[in-house]
Amino acid sequence: MSMTNLYLITNHTNLHVGAGSSNQGVIDNLVQRDPVDQLPLINSSSLKGSLREYFEEVIEKDKDKGKKTISDKIFGGGSNKDDSNTKKESKKGCYIFHDGIILSYPVRSNKEPFFNAFSTMVIERFLESIDLNIFTLDEKVKNKLLELMKLNPQTGAPLIFNYADINNLKIEEFSSFVPKEDKTDEFKILQKIFGDRLVLFSKEDFISLTDDYNLPVIARNQLENGESKNLFYEQVVPRQARFYSFITNNDTNQSDLESNLSDKVAIQVGANGSIGYGLCKFLHLNGLLNPKSSK
């Protein structure tokens, strides 16, 4: 038997999960992106590596002896030699990790610290991912998502939900909005996933908001012996962006991952942990869905 769990990942500090490439020399360090829609992404390998580091450095109880028994069960690995010094293959972990896919993106405003931008293309992929990972969504919540997809906001005129003060409102470069009221319980559930102060953008506008020209770029200085040797530019996903990821447990008798992933603890994801980048919280979302077991 296997069980798939859904997690909401919110970065509470700037996030740089590097793609290992530059933008024609303009931006030296780019973030990871989906190869199809080009939206910011956390690759499954990066997510798995960050979680493994957290478990080895924080959760493991037997570090002095070099034993990573919990981590080896979850992520795989372990010693390649047994007691007789005979070579053994590394063990496969009992969990499968999927990409962290963007749900909403914080956008600046002149009236609020930020709004949460999302799009019909994000909703569509979320629904596809749920079906692919053997989930059934609460019927009322699913219908609400399908209803939002039908709204189809026009380019340059995003829909803003439950926000009355739109006079002279500016969000990024946008100043024209279509107000939309939705006080239903299903919409309140969606706010727990996508965030408060929601603004629904067209596909074109959402792609533009998250492209290389609009993601924040931070100038950083490389020092050698106290001297500046190299100024470089690094792209980040700003704090309060939201991603989701599915993690499949192929051994339901093993629950160390689930029991140690809590939204009360920040886990460092990506690069530059020494300067406070990538502190993320993981929120288990299965309570809002109806997961199904698979053989």
Q: Is 189 helix (H, G, I), strand (E, B) or coil?
A: helix
With a cut of 80, say whether residue 50 has pLDDT above it.
Answer: yes
Of 60-69, 157-166, 218-227, 254-263, the least confident: 60-69
Determine, yes or no, domain membership for 130: yes
Task: List the alpha helices (DSSP H) in the chain.
Answer: 44-54, 69-75, 120-132, 139-151, 185-194, 203-209, 256-260
Determine, yes or no, domain membership for 237: no
Alpha-carbon span 98 to 116, nearest angstrom: 24
Determine, yes or no, domain membership for 145: yes
Other residues' Cβ atoms within 10 Å of the Cβ of residue 251: 14
Residue 180 CA: distances (Å) to CA of 34, 55, 77, 155, 290: 30, 44, 51, 16, 29
Highest average pLDDT, of 21-30, 63-72, 244-253, comes from: 244-253
Determine, yes or no, domain membership for 183: yes
Tell me: the pLDDT tens digits for 76-94?
886 545 555 555 566 888 9
pLDDT score, position 63:
57
255-269 residues labelled b (16+ CB within 10 A) or e (exposed)? ebbbebbeeeebbbb
Q: How many helices (H) and strands (E) does the chain have?
A: 7, 17
Residue 150's Cβ-side half-sphere holds a number of Cα atoms within 13 Å equal to 6
Please tell me whether the overall predicted TM-score, pTM, comes out greater than 0.75 for this model.
yes
Determine, yes or no, domain membership for 236: no
pLDDT score, position 295:
45
Determine, yes or no, domain membership for 102: no
Cα-trace Rg, the chain: 21
Determine, yes or no, domain membership for 163: yes
- Domain span holding position 156: 109-208
pLDDT score, position 92:
86
Tell me: the pLDDT tens digits for 252-264?
787 889 988 888 8
With a cut of 50, say whether residue 294 has pLDDT above it.
Answer: no
* Structural domains in the chain (count): 1
Determine, yes or no, domain membership for 201: yes
Of 14-28, 53-67, 150-164, the least confident: 53-67
Tell me: the pLDDT tens digits for 123-168?
999 999 998 887 778 889 999 999 999 998 999 999 999 999 999 9
pLDDT score, position 268:
97
The structure tokens 């533009």 sit at 208
pLDDT band at 290 (very low <50, low <70, confident <90, very high): low
